[in-house]
Amino acid sequence: MVSALIFDVDGTLAETEEAHRRAFNETFAARGVDWNWSQETYRELLKTTGGKERMARHREVMGFGPSDDEIAELHKIKTRRYVEIITDGEVPLRPGVARLIAIARDAGLKLAIATTTNRPNVDALIRATLGADPDHLFDAIAAGDEVETKKPAPDVFELALNRLHLPPEACIAFEDSEMGLQSAQGAGLRVLITPSAYTDGGDFSSAEWVLPDLSHALPPEITEGLGQSAAIS
């Protein structure tokens, strides 16, 4: 029986990547950095997890760019801009997400987040879309700035499991990307994939389940723990 659901954030709970890209580009322009990330460039950069790491990777490819200290400062500014965009309500949850979270909570399942993004970004999205205190709604939140190695390493999912005090076989992870899939499976979790705008076309053949989004019929392993109300349509 499933005891907990563990969610990735970017691309899984919401299609946030365009908001991230916009916040990066606006930050670059405001600080005089001669970078502007197109959708094609950003799709490639998403193969590197973490915002600071993404900027360092782009500097490597371009052969010029801000120093490590400047990247750290740019990332702080970018985070503030991203939080503003999210707080303005410009990014809704993906279909089925809010209902699944509500049903799972009512059924007594634990809820957790395991994400590469940092905690301010998580808090902003949960407050803007679900109108709730993240620490009240979720039993555990593990963010990318809390672990030594980001996805595809399993660290952040292992941290979430540790905070839930549950073994991986009692939980199901929800992801949208190949790196997230590798991370969750590395922690011993079964994974349900809902590909996002920036991850469609990925190789998800090793996932236990793949759905277009969470408004579609969920696997019995999940619905059995949720009761009759879980027939999301």
Catalytic positions, written as ranges: 8, 10
Kindly state the tokens that stand for 151: 């996805």
Q: Is residue 17 within 8 Å of residue 198, measured between CB atoms?
A: yes
CA-based nearest residue to 142, from 111, 169, 105: 111
Please name the residues in contact with 161: beta carbons below 8 A apart, sequence gap of 6 or more: 6, 167, 168, 171, 187, 189
Amino acid residing at 129? T
Please name the residues in contact with 162: beta carbons below 8 A apart, sequence gap of 6 or more: none
